[in-house]
Structure 1
Amino acid sequence: MPGAVTGVGKTAGVKRIVLVRRGGDVVEAVEPSSHGPGGAATRLSAATLPEFVRAQEPAPVRWIWDDTTRWYPGLLDAGVRVARCTDLRLTHALLRRSPFADRSLLTADESPGWDALQPVTATDAALFPLDDPADRLDPLAEHARQQAVLGASPERRRLELLLAAESSGALVAAEMTHAGLPWRTDVHEQLLTELLGPRPVAGHRPAVLEWLAGEIRRALDAPALNPDSPGDVLRALQGAGLPVEDTRSWTLDGIDHPVVPPLLEYKKRSRLLQANGWAWLDAWVRDGRFRSWFLPGGVVTGRWSSTGGGALSVPVQVRPAAVADEGWRFVVADVAQLEPRVLAAMSGDLAMAEAARSADLYQGMVTAGAVGTRAEAKLGMLGAMYGGTRGESGRMLPRLARRYPHAIGLVEEAARAGERGEVVRTLLGRGSPVPAGPAREADLGEPPEPGASRQEQDRHRRAWGRFTRNFVVQGTAAEWALCWLADLRNRLWRLGAGEPGERPHLVFFLHDEVVVHTPEDLAQAVAEEVRQAAAEAGRLLFGSFPVDFPLDVAVVRSWADAG
């Protein structure tokens, strides 16, 4: 797989300190020896740890701990920011699957414990919760094993960059949870009242939904119908003579019947009530901030997931409630067509990189004569990256393959490798799961049972090929985004002054979009740093390969105003 990794960042002269729990409220800060897991240790209490960390930070130091979610929130609560860390839980998971790693060097009696270790997302997580499975693990020994794996890897530079970026992402995630996204409860409640009616008594529908429910019942002549029951609605629709097999919105959209408009509107507003209604406000917005837990590496491709409040799927209807503090602004930035640009760079396809020089890559393909319309370009590329090789997108693929042979060839080879049951990797070495493993973003269904028909085996094999063709692109795009975040985090810190909450800081990240909360007088400088960090991420992963990552950047008071 082509692709350049131009550097990993300077680590010479950076002191390493491993934090270890020793029972009760005792912490040991150990500087590991180059000859083994032991080293000079300083014993601390949990109460004195924040000041110890603060005192060490002016000199370059890398904190090594079992899991960022167990250590960093308490430090942030004490007003302490750390510049860099190694998250052993995340690093272990990456090395266990990477084809660049000799996994036998990572194997020990406690390996199953590291495999099973989960992040902490408790509302009031203590530094030392009772019966924490992390207490049964040895961070010093695990760090030594991980260093041995890196030392033996033929692609050490790529792996080091991946591990550093993943751990930096863990710091960003904890800081975003700590800071929270500014959220105006009064604006949100006004939006809900406009769309649903006044807040109802518990157990009752809001007034607008109740009115729509009446319209649905009248249109179907079903006075007792419960519109919240898909089964009841389906039976009522079929009883009215409508040829439907389900109640999905796209199914109903093609039906000409008086029930369709109120039913579609009911479904839309009901989803808002369930996902981001008054209960959501009560649960997730505190002290003017929406706080969720962001989890780096939460998806096998390296994309983030979140726990609590649906942070990665905040609908546009309620985004007007995300309002910057007085005297502050949001800088909102997203990357145009990130995945096809990453595909061009990682495959070394100069023709596609030329199309990517346009702010609209798909229009660049039209200009180059690869396809006739922007819609054809987008459909064909989505088919290439996600496995839509039939129908209209399949018809576009041969034309794209002729024009962009390296890019299309890369995803085709990844698909064939997946169909053969092989592991594929991202640019930096994140490995795909084996076909029987969990692929949370692939709609693969259950693996075929032993003795399954040849047809069933072929279906699953092709489904896995669709997953692996996307894995290599989506995973490398996630690596680019991690490098963007890590560099931007440091740029924002250097740009401001004072305590962490007084400086520009990240408050939201979704795959290819970031939101920075910044003092108003620094907003334009932040916008420039966002652009510079994106350019640096491209250079870090792809060297001098001529691919652009243009950003749409907006400085706004409300997130909704970013468009």
Structure 2
Amino acid sequence: MLVAVLPDGRLQDLRADGGPAGPPHQVADLPATMAAREAADQPRWVWSSTADIYPALLRAGVRVARCHDLELTEALLLGHAGHWGEPRGVAAVLARSRGLPVPPDPPRHGAEPPGFAQAALFEAASAPSMEIQDLLLGYASQQQRIAETEHPGRFRMLVAAESAGALIAAEMGHVGLPWRADIHDELLRELLGPPQPVGPPRRLAELTAQINAAFGVRGLHPDSPAEVLRAFGRAGIQVPNTRAWVLREVDHPAVAPLLEYKELYRIWTAHGWSWCDAWVRDGRFRPEYVPGGVVSGRWAARGGGALQVPKVVRRGVVADPGWQFVVADAGQLEPRVMAAVSGDERLARAAAAGDLYAALATDSFSGDRAKAKIALLGAMYGQTGGDAIPALAVLRRHYPVAFDYVEAAARTGETGGLVRSWLGRTCPPAFASRDAGLDPPDEAAVPPGRARGRFTRNFVIQATAAEWALVLLALLRTELEGTPAELVLFVHDEVVVHCPSDQAQDVVRAVHECAARAGRMLFGDTTVRFPLDVSVVGAYADAK
């Protein structure tokens, strides 16, 4: 069952084909009405944007099982048609269907820590004017375009998974990640020293003095790459940048304190005391997650640095008393995806093992696991020099179908063409870019040539891996429904569940079962396995 809904309380039941099943009607209490419908028949709600509508419902105590997010679906369809990044709002959908000029999307709100956001249930004044018929026409247009894609069944799964991901993202932001502000303060004091009323903490000041002494100067700011490069230049050392991997190759007494400074400075500015004061409320860190925020389909975050928390800072992520975290991470996911999507039967047999690299080594690399790993990663990421050359030759000879799959994606990219994931997510065209203020920052698509070939070679694998992880997440959400367990974090291939201690082993079993089901849903009857490394811990930092 489908139900179209607007934030102002207008609803309309739809037929399976998206046509109206009756007249629209206005309700006085939208959350209560939707809660009653959820309890009665769990319809799929058709709405403009989960990010705009669902958080208010969650604040009112209403959760929904399914939705169709028009904006996320439009973004997928635009990408598929080679128009990645163009306006995707309902007004844009309608304009395209009518052959009219496409209006720009309204600006998105900026990142707001908890307590700063508007607390009103629905901000009708700030929402663009819309009729219920607009939703119906937009939905019908999208269904027609989905049917015209190369693999409609796969694309429908992608749309359903993306919409489910949007629900989960809003729910995780609402529930929040357990965070102990007192432990966070302790670890910051341990690393940095006590906070200062003005200026950096003591340890950064000490390192600044050491760096200045090593260069024989005064007043150098270690957080300024330009000043550091000039200091190295005066010492007769030319370095292209101040990245850690570059500095580690430099022989100079300033390097050790400079590397420590860079690491601690990043913690202080990105996840220090000010960050904790702004983003942690009532023992929970509540960022805003952005499904599909990265071109490969991986999630991003808007504010709070949720997806880039350093391991040492994770010590502050502690389960509630009587609760634990179940942390599940997909091991060797991208090589396994390569085996599944390419249809290479010999590689798929190796991917049936718990350790794909070891199985590959036994099969084709005389037991040399390191060489087998270099070969697979080289094929997926376009590494063509050094130790990869002989390893890739073996891979090409023994697994030609898999090798040719990524090679074809690379050749397409080099000439400026588009490639797709297994379910149909499409890479951006050459030169396309966008700046959405996300974390990590959204990348610009590279121009035609070898660099773009490396991008598209990996895109077909990484984007499909993101789809597998998203389907796993959606299945796990359904499996945990009705239990106290909460999905609290999703980073690339890792899922974190917060649950009562006596439920932890049930969650472990559910995670493994959902991983296997996700593989079958995407790839059918394949021998490829998708094993998970699962830890049950009281503190996130203790996970494997």
Q: Same fold by TM-score, threshold 0.5 exceeded?
A: yes
Matches within 5 A, 1:381-396: 381-396=376-391
Q: Does residue 191 of the first structure (1) align with residue 187 of the second (2)? A: yes
The Cα offsets for residues 204-224 of structure 1, whole Å up to 9 and x where unpaired, read as 111111111111122221122
> What one-letter code is carried by the residue in structure 2 that aligns with 1:289?
R
User: Which of 201, 207, 211 is matched with 2:202 structurally?
Assistant: 207
> What one-letter code is carried by the residue in structure 2 that aligns with 1:523?
A
Q: Is the 8 A contact 1:32 1:40 kept in 2?
A: no
Matches within 5 A, 1:198-237: 198-202=194-198, 204-237=199-232
In the alignment, which residue of structure 1 is the partner of 2:280? 285
What secondary structure does 1:552 align onto? strand
Q: CA deviation at 1:131?
A: 3.6
Distance 1:111 1:534 in 2: 44
In the alignment, which residue of structure 1 is the partner of 2:47? 65
Q: CA deviation at 1:153?
A: 4.5
Q: Identity percentage over the alignment? A: 48
TM (norm. structure 1) is 0.87
What secondary structure does 1:85 align onto? strand
Distance 2:287 2:141 in 1: 33
Q: Is the 8 A contact 1:302 1:478 kept in 2?
A: yes
Matches within 5 A, 1:359-398: 359-370=354-365, 373-398=368-393
User: Which of 399, 402, 418 is matched with 2:413 structurally?
Assistant: 418
Q: Is the 8 A contact 2:430 2:445 kept in 1?
A: no
In the alignment, which residue of structure 2 is the partner of 1:335? 330
What secondary structure does 2:144 align onto? helix
Change in CA separation of 1:251 and 1:436 when aligned onto 2, cut-off 3 Å: closer
Q: Is the 8 A contact 2:421 2:459 kept in 1?
A: yes
What secondary structure does 1:400 align onto? helix
How many residue pairs get aligned? The number is: 521
Q: CA deviation at 1:418?
A: 1.6
Q: Is the 8 A contact 2:428 2:445 kept in 1?
A: no
Distance 1:161 1:359 in 2: 27
User: Which of 143, 156, 159 is matched with 1:160 structurally?
Assistant: 156
Matches within 5 A, 1:23-422: 26-33=8-15, 34=17, 36=19, 39-45=22-28, 48-58=29-39, 59-98=41-80, 107-108=97-98, 112-113=102-103, 123-124=117-118, 126=120, 127-133=122-128, 135=130, 138-153=134-149, 155-202=151-198, 204-370=199-365, 373-422=368-417
Distance 1:266 1:415 in 2: 39
In the alignment, which residue of structure 1 is the partner of 2:467? 479
Change in CA separation of 1:399 and 1:111 when aligned onto 2, cut-off 3 Å: farther
Distance 2:66 2:101 in 1: 25
The Cα offsets for residues 400-428 of structure 1, whole Å up to 9 and x where unpaired, read as 11121111111101111122322211111
Q: CA deviation at 1:258?
A: 2.2
> What one-letter code is carried by the residue in structure 1 that aligns with 2:511?
V
The Cα offsets for residues 44-64 of structure 1, whole Å up to 9 and x where unpaired, read as 24xx11110110012131111
The Cα offsets for residues 472-501 of structure 1, whole Å up to 9 and x where unpaired, read as 11111111111101100000114x1xxxxx
TM (norm. structure 2) is 0.90
Change in CA separation of 1:195 and 1:154 when aligned onto 2, cut-off 3 Å: closer
Q: Is the 8 A contact 1:106 1:149 kept in 2?
A: no
The Cα offsets for residues 414-445 of structure 1, whole Å up to 9 and x where unpaired, read as 11112232221111111222223238766765
Output the aligned Cα RMSD: 2.5
Distance 1:301 1:323 in 2: 31
Change in CA separation of 1:107 and 1:317 when aligned onto 2, cut-off 3 Å: same
What secondary structure does 1:81 align onto? coil
The Cα offsets for residues 304-360 of structure 1, whole Å up to 9 and x where unpaired, read as 111111111111011110001111110000000111101101111122122223322
Distance 1:56 1:149 in 2: 29
Structure 2: which 5+ runs fail to align?
84-92, 435-440
Q: Is the 8 A contact 2:211 2:254 kept in 1?
A: yes
The Cα offsets for residues 161-210 of structure 1, whole Å up to 9 and x where unpaired, read as 111111000111000000000000000000000000001113x1111111
Q: Is the 8 A contact 1:196 1:208 kept in 2?
A: yes
The Cα offsets for residues 123-155 of structure 1, whole Å up to 9 and x where unpaired, read as 336422534347489222101211222344553
Structure 1: which 5+ runs fail to align?
1-14, 448-459, 497-502
